[in-house]
Amino acid sequence: MDILRIATAGSVDDGKSTLIGRLLYETNSITKDKIEALESASKRKGLDFLDLSLLTDGLIAEREQGITIDVAHIYFSTPTRKYIIADTPGHVEYTRNMVTGASNAKVSLILVDARQGVVEQTARHLSIAAMLRIPKVIICVNKMDLVQYQESTFNAIKDSLAELVAQTTFDGQEISFLPISSLYGQNITVNASEMPWFKGNTLLGELEAFEYASTLAHAPARFPVQFVVRPMTEAYHDFRGYAGKISSGTFKVGDAIRVLPTGQESTIATIEKFDTKLSQAIAGDSVTITLTTDVDISRGNTLVLASEVQPPQLKDFSAQVCWLDHTALSPGKTYLLQHGINTTKAKISQITERLDVATQRATEGVSSLQLNEIGTIALRTAQPISADQYAANPANGAFILIDEFSNSTVGVGFVK
């Protein structure tokens, strides 16, 4: 059974949590005791309808303020697949939580309030979806009930986004528009009786039909070694296995491999998953690989196929970053850079430009990147990293920046 990860986005009060609540409600994913709890909580708030957003706003501060602060993860299944929804906050100050939630998503649902039309958050979230290279974006024009379900309102929003969509989208990204009412369940799982003019699929219909052909299994093979397994027991006296999760590509028994960054070569003897021996393994598989010869490999080394394009050993490079911390990024400062499981020191030599998400225009000569800003930086690492360009191989092209003193994750970067 496959898994589809979805992230919601959109401005505050666009009704993201209500949309998810509606989706759960209509797919019978909410048990009776939870619905009863919702009814009594809605009544306490003086509402005469079921406030489905209460299902996901789980923190005390969120319920007090009636907004979403952090990402909630919600689960439901259909006979087709298992869905994991990251319900992300709409406030601009919580964009970092939105990026966290969206980083693993294959579908981004961007909500637009039919009354408000396109706002800055719409542009920011489209921009982030492009930066993360999320393959499918569904722009849900919500609260259609408040604009009398007019086709003209929907079309006007669609038209006003056309230019921005053209600017941000990349080859292979699917973008669609959908008029909905989360509150009344229009076009969520059943076609809207109130909008006969809309001939497209419902939201659930689109999700069920989406086929994400993973390109990762066909990308060059990358296997970062997480852990060296050396049991040193009688039965496995000489066993030395390299445990990790394949980032991209396919490894087969008998393949000639190269170890990065040392350059040593060897051949795959076995690929094991617990007590099962496999003939091959692909991107996403957690396996243990043994080699035919004794080579010196430790955590952080990457195995690649000798016959394929090797990732460059990057030491001086440029990357797009999204800043996630209250303390701004400033050039000259040293951070820890974590690429996959590998950590090294990195110095930001320069901020090349900052992106204005609303206009997609770049500004040069900036001296800092503030919380939630996106820009391009030049950086130098202490040790080289075996990274690919993010656009070519997303599984091996992203990194995080960690503040050495607070230990917090302060930025996310994408190798250019």
Between residues 153 and 301, which has the closer beta carbon with respect to another protein? 301
Between residues 21 and 179, which has the closer beta carbon with respect to another protein? 21
Residue 377 beta carbon to another protein: minimum distance, rounded to whole angstroms: 17
Neighbours of 156 (CB within 10 A): 15
Nearest to 348 by CA among 338, 336, 334: 334
Amino acid of residue 395: A
Residue 147 beta carbon to another protein: minimum distance, rounded to whole angstroms: 32
Residue 246 beta carbon to another protein: minimum distance, rounded to whole angstroms: 9
Between residues 100 and 187, which has the closer beta carbon with respect to another protein? 100
Q: What is the DSSP string of 106-168?
A: SEEEEEEETTT-S-HHHHHHHHHHHHTT-SEEEEEEE-GGGGTT-HHHHHHHHHHHHHHHHHH
Between residues 115 and 277, which has the closer beta carbon with respect to another protein? 277
Between residues 192 and 324, which has the closer beta carbon with respect to another protein? 324
Residue 2 beta carbon to another protein: minimum distance, rounded to whole angstroms: 7
Residue 253 beta carbon to another protein: minimum distance, rounded to whole angstroms: 18
Buried b (16+ CB within 10 A) or exposed e, 184-218: bbbbbbebbebbeebeebbbbbbbbebeeeeebee
- What's the longest Cα–Cα distance across the chain? 76
Residue 241 beta carbon to another protein: minimum distance, rounded to whole angstroms: 8
CA distance 360 to 374: 11
Residue 75 beta carbon to another protein: minimum distance, rounded to whole angstroms: 5
Which residues make up the interface to another protein (CB under 8 A)? 1-3, 31-34, 37, 41, 55-61, 63, 69-75, 77, 79, 82, 84, 96-97, 99-100, 103-104, 226-227, 229-231, 233, 235-236, 239, 241, 243-245, 272-275, 284-286, 288, 299, 324, 336, 338, 340-341, 398-400, 402, 407-409, 412
CA distance 12 to 380: 38
Pair 86, 35: CB distance under 8 Å? no
Between residues 59 and 256, which has the closer beta carbon with respect to another protein? 59
What tokens does 105 get? 């998503």
Pair 223, 247: CB distance under 8 Å? yes
CA distance 6 to 102: 8
Residue 204 beta carbon to another protein: minimum distance, rounded to whole angstroms: 17
Between residues 197 and 236, which has the closer beta carbon with respect to another protein? 236
Between residues 44 and 199, which has the closer beta carbon with respect to another protein? 44
Between residues 193 and 286, which has the closer beta carbon with respect to another protein? 286
What tokens does 298 get? 């430790």
Neighbours of 363 (CB within 10 A): 11
Burial class (CB in 10 A: 0-12, 13-18, 19+), 129: buried
Residue 286 beta carbon to another protein: minimum distance, rounded to whole angstroms: 4
Nearest to 128 by CA among 323, 330, 379: 323
What tokens does 389 get? 């360009």
